[in-house]
Amino acid sequence: MTISSRKLKDETKAQKVKIRPVIIKDTLEYQVSEFVGRKVLHTNYTQKDVKKRIEKYMEEEFKQAQITRTDSLATILSSKSGTCTCKYKKAKEIKAQKELSHNRTKKYIIQEGTPVGFMIDLGVMTPDGRIVRTRYDKFRQINRFLEFIEDILPRLDKDKEQTIIDFGCGKSYLTFAMYYYLKELKGYNIRVIGLDLKEDVIEHCNELRTKYGYDRLDFYVGDIATYKDVDSVDMVVTLHACDTATDYALAKAVAWGAKVILSVPCCQHEANRTISSTLLSPVMDYGILKERMSAIITDAARANMLKARGYDTQILEFIDMEHTPKNLLIRAVKTGKTDEKAEKQAEDMQKALGIELTISKLL
- Domain of 313: which CATH number? 3.40.50.150
Instruction: Provide the angle, in degrees to the nearest 10, between the axes of the packed helices 287-308 and 340-353.
Output: 150
Q: How many CB atoms neighbour CB 39 within 10 A?
A: 17
The pLDDT score that the predictor gives to residue 227 is 86
pLDDT band at 153 (very low <50, low <70, confident <90, very high): very high
**Cα 196 to Cα 166: distance, rounded to the nearest angstrom:** 9
Decide if 143 is inside a domain. no
> Is the pLDDT assigned to residue 324 strictly greater than 60?
no
The pLDDT score that the predictor gives to residue 101 is 42
The pLDDT score that the predictor gives to residue 331 is 96
The region of weakest confidence among 37-46, 275-284, 321-330 is 321-330
pLDDT tens across 247-258, in order? 999 999 999 999
> Is the pLDDT assigned to residue 36 strictly greater than 50?
yes
> Is the pLDDT assigned to residue 25 strictly greater than 90?
no
Give the structural domain span for 80.
Answer: 2-102
Q: Order across the sheet with 16-24: list the strands.
A: 39-45, 27-36, 16-24, 2-6, 62-68, 72-78, 84-90
Which residue among 78, 102, 126 closes a domain?
102
Decide if 259 is inside a domain. yes
pLDDT band at 105 (very low <50, low <70, confident <90, very high): low
**Cα 295 to Cα 273: distance, rounded to the nearest angstrom:** 12
Same domain, residue pair 177 and 51: no
Q: In this prediction, what percent of the chain has a pLDDT beyond 90?
A: 41
Decide if 149 is inside a domain. no
Same domain, residue pair 171 and 92: no
**Cα 191 to Cα 185: distance, rounded to the nearest angstrom:** 15
pLDDT band at 323 (very low <50, low <70, confident <90, very high): very low
Residues 78/84/87/88 CA torsion (nearest 10 deg):
110
Mean pLDDT in residue range 243-268: 91
Decide if 138 is inside a domain. no
More confident residue, 173 or 335: 335
Reported pTM:
0.69
Q: Specify the 3-state DSSP secondary structure of 344.
A: helix
Same domain, residue pair 172 and 91: no
The pLDDT score that the predictor gives to residue 317 is 87
**Cα 21 to Cα 272: distance, rounded to the nearest angstrom:** 52
The answer to whether 105 and 122 have CB atoms below 8 angstroms apart is no
Same domain, residue pair 61 and 161: no
pLDDT band at 107 (very low <50, low <70, confident <90, very high): confident
More confident residue, 347 or 239: 347
Question: Among 133, 154, 129, which residue's Cα sits nearest to residue 2?
Answer: 129
Which residue among 38, 73, 102 closes a domain?
102
The pLDDT score that the predictor gives to residue 234 is 97
Burial 285-295, CB ≥16 within 10 A → b, else e: eeeeebbbbbb
Mean pLDDT in residue range 143-172: 91
Task: Provide the β-strand partners of residue 193.
Answer: 165, 218
Chain mean pLDDT for the chain: 86
**Cα 144 to Cα 97: distance, rounded to the nearest angstrom:** 27
The pLDDT score that the predictor gives to residue 326 is 58
The pLDDT score that the predictor gives to residue 102 is 41
pLDDT band at 71 (very low <50, low <70, confident <90, very high): low
Same domain, residue pair 241 and 317: yes
Decide if 343 is inside a domain. yes
Decide if 196 is inside a domain. yes
The answer to whether 21 and 30 have CB atoms below 8 angstroms apart is yes
Same domain, residue pair 94 and 170: no
DSSP secondary structure letters along 220-271: EE--GGG--S-S--SEEEEEEEETTHHHHHHHHHHHHT-SEEEEEEE--HHH
pLDDT band at 138 (very low <50, low <70, confident <90, very high): confident
Decide if 111 is inside a domain. no
How many structural domains is the chain composed of?
Answer: 2
Same domain, residue pair 318 and 174: yes
> Is the pLDDT assigned to residue 322 strictly greater than 90?
no
> Is the pLDDT assigned to residue 100 strictly greater than 80?
no
The answer to whether 275 and 336 have CB atoms below 8 angstroms apart is no
pLDDT tens across 76-97, in order? 888 777 677 888 777 554 444 4
The answer to whether 163 and 233 have CB atoms below 8 angstroms apart is yes
Which residue among 102, 124, 146 closes a domain?
102
Q: Specify the 3-state DSSP secondary structure of 14.
A: coil
Mean pLDDT in residue range 209-220: 92
> Is the pLDDT assigned to residue 152 strictly greater than 90?
yes
**Cα 342 to Cα 329: distance, rounded to the nearest angstrom:** 19
> Is the pLDDT assigned to residue 7 strictly greater than 90?
no
> Is the pLDDT assigned to residue 215 strictly greater than 70?
yes
Same domain, residue pair 169 and 96: no
The pLDDT score that the predictor gives to residue 98 is 45
Same domain, residue pair 185 and 295: yes
Decide if 42 is inside a domain. yes
Same domain, residue pair 213 and 310: yes
Mean pLDDT in residue range 1-15: 88
Q: How many CB atoms neighbour CB 107 within 10 A?
A: 6
Same domain, residue pair 13 and 89: yes
Same domain, residue pair 163 and 85: no
The answer to whether 85 and 65 have CB atoms below 8 angstroms apart is no
More confident residue, 128 or 319: 128
DSSP secondary structure letters along 95-129: HHHHHHHHTT----SSPTTS--HHHHHTTSB-TTS
The pLDDT score that the predictor gives to residue 8 is 86
**Cα 224 to Cα 202: distance, rounded to the nearest angstrom:** 14
Mean pLDDT in residue range 138-167: 92
